[in-house]
């Protein structure tokens, strides 16, 4: 889409959500530090800090899904399921297929080098739709996209007002369900797909409902970020201070405080009037997301080789988290540029997308 037709406030949210995902996966190196090493971070007064870094970034996945719903459900052309599926196949399914192969080879290489989790993990990851830890999102998203034309059809049948109520109710039920059911083993589980439809539909509703207002943007963003900081403090207390821990997860996409803060942050960005042309970078975020986990893992393996398995003990997370986030971001952007150029050249030469489209009978 040409930049002049883009809504730059959502492009900005997409970019920041991508960075937030990288922050989560970098900060995890310190959040999950071994129990015997807790005294190190406690001595630096950093354990709560890295938990706040982690918690402050948890809006990313819900906002990614809400952005998708905001635009896909607003386009009547997407009611034609074949047209929508062909478009989604190129932009979502083909990259998922390519990166599934790449990460399976990556994990196989780790096993051959003696640093992997075993061949059973490679196979179970493929079956579960989690060939690498971040790839679950792609398999879940494919399920959501499969249902998108039918959601548009339901919206047209029941009307905007009723759809708004259904969308909000759907998200509330999803939070109540997912928060209490434990970890979902299969990324393509239909129950999880239906739950993410709550965020998908609410993103559409909020984009339609929220007007531009600097005051609303400030209030909503401030409230959302404060909730995430509070959640980080609670997470620190529950896992490192309280002897009894906490029976339910509190930082997942469907935990109550994360859901509330994510909606507020989305409202904040929906209320912004952003003029900067950010479409070019925003369009890269999908592939950056695909690359970043491999970059994080590669850097971590290098650090282990150089400094041992507890390498993070020598790096103060106060600033090293952000140094690694910057490094991972830059490398992921460079890899994305190379990937885009290489894929376009190979696709033009060998008609990869057209061939796969014919294979699954989406060309007629």
Biggest alpha carbon distance in the chain?
A: 64
Q: What is the pLDDT of residue 3?
A: 42
Instruction: Count CB atoms within 10 A of the CB of residue 240.
Output: 16
Average pLDDT over all residues of the chain? 87
d(C-alpha 54, C-alpha 160), whole Å: 36
What's the mean pLDDT in 153-162? 94
Q: What is the pLDDT of residues 257-278, one digit of tens each?
A: 999 999 999 999 999 999 999 9
More confidently predicted of 361 and 337: 337
Residue 66 sits at φ, ψ, to 5 deg, of -65, -40
Q: What is the pLDDT of residue 35?
A: 52
Q: Predicted confidence band at 119 (pLDDT cuts at 50, 70, 90)?
A: confident
What's the token pair of residue 117?
Answer: 């989790």
More confidently predicted of 15 and 50: 15
What's the mean pLDDT in 294-304? 93
Q: Predicted confidence band at 1 (pLDDT cuts at 50, 70, 90)?
A: very low
pTM score above 0.85: yes
Instruction: Count CB atoms within 10 A of the CB of residue 274.
Output: 17
Those residues with Cβ within 8 angstroms of residue 132's Cβ, 6 or more apart along the chain or in another chain: 99, 103, 106, 107, 125, 293, 294
Residue 86 has pLDDT above 90, yes or no: no
What's the mean pLDDT in 182-191? 71
**Percentage of the chain exceeding pLDDT 90:** 58
Cβ neighbourhood burial of 296 (10 Å; 0-12, 13-18, 19+): buried
The per-residue DSSP string of 275-286 comes to -S--HHHHHHHH
d(C-alpha 332, C-alpha 175), whole Å: 32
């Amino acid at each position: 889409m040409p930049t002049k037709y883009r809504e730059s406030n959502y492009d900005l949210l997409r970019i920041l959500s991508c960075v937030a995902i990288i922050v989560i996966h970098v900060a995890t190196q310190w959040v999950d530090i071994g129990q015997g090493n807790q005294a190190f971070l406690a001595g630096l007064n950093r354990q709560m800090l890295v938990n706040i870094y982690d918690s402050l970034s948890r809006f990313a996945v819900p906002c990614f899904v809400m952005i998708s719903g905001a635009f896909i459900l607003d386009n009547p052309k997407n009611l034609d399921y074949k047209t929508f599926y062909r478009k989604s196949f190129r932009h979502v399914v083909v990259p998922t297929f390519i990166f599934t192969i790449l990460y399976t080879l990556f994990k196989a290489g780790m096993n051959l080098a003696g640093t992997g989790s075993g061949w059973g993990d490679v196979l179970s990851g493929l079956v579960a739709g989690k060939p690498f830890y971040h790839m679950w999102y792609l398999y879940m998203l494919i399920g959501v996209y499969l249902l998108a034309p039918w959601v548009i059809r339901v919206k047209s049948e029941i009307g905007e007002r009723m759809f708004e109520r259904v969308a909000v109710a759907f998200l509330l039920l999803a939070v109540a369900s997912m928060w209490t059911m434990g970890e979902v083993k299969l990324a393509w589980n239909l129950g999880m797909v239906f739950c993410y439809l709550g965020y998908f539909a609410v993103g559409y509703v909020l984009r339609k409902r929220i007007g531009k207002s600097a005051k609303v943007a400030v209030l909503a963003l401030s409230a959302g970020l404060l909730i995430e900081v509070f959640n980080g403090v609670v997470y620190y207390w529950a896992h490192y201070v309280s002897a009894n821990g906490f029976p339910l997860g509190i930082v997942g996409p469907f935990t109550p405080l994360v859901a509330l803060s994510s909606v507020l942050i989305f409202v904040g960005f929906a209320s912004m009037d952003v003029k900067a042309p950010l479409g070019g970078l925003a369009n890269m975020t999908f592939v950056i997301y695909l690359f970043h986990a491999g970059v994080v893992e590669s850097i971590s393996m290098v650090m282990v080789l150089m400094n041992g398995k507890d390498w993070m003990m020598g790096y103060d997370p106060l600033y090293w988290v952000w140094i690694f986030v910057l490094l991972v971001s830059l490398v992921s952007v460079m890899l994305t540029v190379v990937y885009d150029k290489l894929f376009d050249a190979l696709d033009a030469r060998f008609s990869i997308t057209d061939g796969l489209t014919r294979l699954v009978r989406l060309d007629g």
